[in-house]
């Protein structure tokens, strides 16, 4: 039996969303949630509400991009400003589970207040092959993942996003700023702002897929291996070393292994 095409998966996605009629979409403004919001708007019209949760460990530019993307789709959109959850203050290994549980509980409360039955997130088929402890929390809270249900892969979502004219089709993967800091490290808001400023500077120099792993006085930069030489040249032109040291780092290093998603993850059972 042949596998469904991406267009067949998309039709199945729309059918599933139509059956819900109304839903809250957890909206970060990234590739997956933008595509999900777009499809939900096609299927439900004004029955969809996009909600972006803004925390101190979310890059500020991502909140602004989410607001712009929702506006472009003429989707109802709310931004919830949430203070730093104290249960994450020591950046525990189960951070992603605890965070998802806390934030999606809030989304459930938003949905209940508006008499909306469904809360949706952008998990896709490829996420099952990655280390995603937050998925357990979504299951416990009854959050639905329509992209996963439809069998859509990351490539499907990129291709469909491009075909439907979504500017997010080429966005690299994003993760919260806590992923830049080793587990067990006490977190303060100033450190998160420092990481955000450093990464924003590097992105402005043209490094879209970049991570600034922060180890106290040491900043360890990860870019794709094929861009490491470009990073060295950019330092000569734009003073990356000096800029990061102005933010308080004593040492600035380049990781020769290159950019890896979740390179600081500690897997727990």
What fold does the segment set 6-170 form as a domain? Rossmann fold (3.40.50)
Average pLDDT value for the chain: 93
Is the predicted pLDDT of residue 97 greater than 50, yes or no?
yes
pLDDT at 269: 38
This prediction has a pTM of 0.90
Percent of the chain with pLDDT over 90: 88
The rounded distance, in Å, linking the Cα atoms of 108 and 117 is 9
| Per-residue confidence band for 131, with pLDDT thresholds at 50, 70 and 90 | low
Residues 17-50: tens digit of each pLDDT: 999 999 999 999 999 999 999 999 999 999 999 9
Domain ranges of the chain: 6-170, 177-254
**Quick one: how far is CA 190 from the chain centroid?**
21
Is-contact 197 247, C-beta < 8 A? Answer: yes
Is the predicted pLDDT of residue 268 greater than 60, yes or no?
no
Give the residue-averaged pLDDT of 205-228.
96
Which CATH code for domain 177-254? 3.30.70
pLDDT at 133: 75
Residues 46-76: tens digit of each pLDDT: 999 999 999 999 998 999 999 999 999 999 9
């Amino acid at each position: 039996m042949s596998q469904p095409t991406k267009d067949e998966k998309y039709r199945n996605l729309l059918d599933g969303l139509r059956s819900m009629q109304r839903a809250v979409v957890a909206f970060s403004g990234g590739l997956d949630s933008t595509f999900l919001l777009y499809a939900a708007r096609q299927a439900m019209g004004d029955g969809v509400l996009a909600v972006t949760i803004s925390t101190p460990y979310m890059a500020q530019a991502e909140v602004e991009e989410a607001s712009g993307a929702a506006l472009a789709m003429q989707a109802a959109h709310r931004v919830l400003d949430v203070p730093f959850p104290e249960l994450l203050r020591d950046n525990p290994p189960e951070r992603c589970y605890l965070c998802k549980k806390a934030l999606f509980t809030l989304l459930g409360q938003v949905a209940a207040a508006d008499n909306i039955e469904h809360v949706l997130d952008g998990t896709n088929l490829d996420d099952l092959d990655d280390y995603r402890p937050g998925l357990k929390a979504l299951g416990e809270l009854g959050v639905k993942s329509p992209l996963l249900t439809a069998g859509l892969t990351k490539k499907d979502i990129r291709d469909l996003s491009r075909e439907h004219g979504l500017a997010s089709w080429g966005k690299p993967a994003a993760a919260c700023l806590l992923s830049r800091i080793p587990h067990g490290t006490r977190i303060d808001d100033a450190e998160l702002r420092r990481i955000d400023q450093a990464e924003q500077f590097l992105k402005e120099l043209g490094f879209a897929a970049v991570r600034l792993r922060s180890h106290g006085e040491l900043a360890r930069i990860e870019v794709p291996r094929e861009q490491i030489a470009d990073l060295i040249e950019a330092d000569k032109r734009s003073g990356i070393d000096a800029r990061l040291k102005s933010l308080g780092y004593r040492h600035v290093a380049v990781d020769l292994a290159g950019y890896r998603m979740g390179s600081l993850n500690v897997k727990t059972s």
